[in-house]
């Protein structure tokens, strides 16, 4: 099971991070969920946690650059999940749901 309390507190912290003024809450949450999915994919690809930001940057993500600052905040949460959870659960969808509820 995903540690939802941890995710909720991270989502709250992310919402407090300055974003582009034109971003709506929904758009911001969507970008955050994309970052979570990218970190999850990096974990599935066996990228070491310390190399996640560099690995994701190499994929040329489509979210605004300021969301890259979230990678070091999100990576520990994803990497502390059991690998079975990372394989089976959509962490991005869980993040999006929690973010929208904030």
Tens-digit pLDDT profile for the chain (102 aa)? 556 556 655 555 554 554 444 579 999 999 999 999 999 999 999 999 999 999 999 999 999 999 999 999 999 999 999 999 999 999 999 999 999 998
Q: Measuring CA to CA, which residue among 62, 14, 9 is closest to residue 38?
A: 62
C-beta separation of 9 from 99 below 8 A? no
* DSSP code string of 14-58: HHHS---TT--HHHHHHHHHHHHHHHHHHHHTT--GGGHHHHHHH
Q: Measuring CA to CA, which residue among 24, 17, 37 is closest to residue 78?
A: 37
Write down the pTM of the prediction: 0.81
């Amino acid at each position: 099971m995903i540690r939802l309390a941890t995710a909720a507190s991270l989502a709250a912290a992310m919402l407090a991070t300055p974003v582009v003024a034109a971003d709506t809450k929904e758009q911001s949450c969507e970008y955050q969920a994309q970052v979570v999915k990218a970190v999850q994919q990096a974990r599935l690809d066996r990228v070491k946690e310390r190399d996640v930001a560099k690995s994701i940057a190499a994929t040329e993500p489509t979210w605004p650059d300021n969301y890259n600052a979230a990678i070091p905040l999100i990576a520990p949460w994803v990497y502390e999940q059991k690998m079975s959870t990372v394989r089976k659960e959509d962490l991005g969808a869980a993040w999006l749901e929690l973010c929208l509820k904030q």
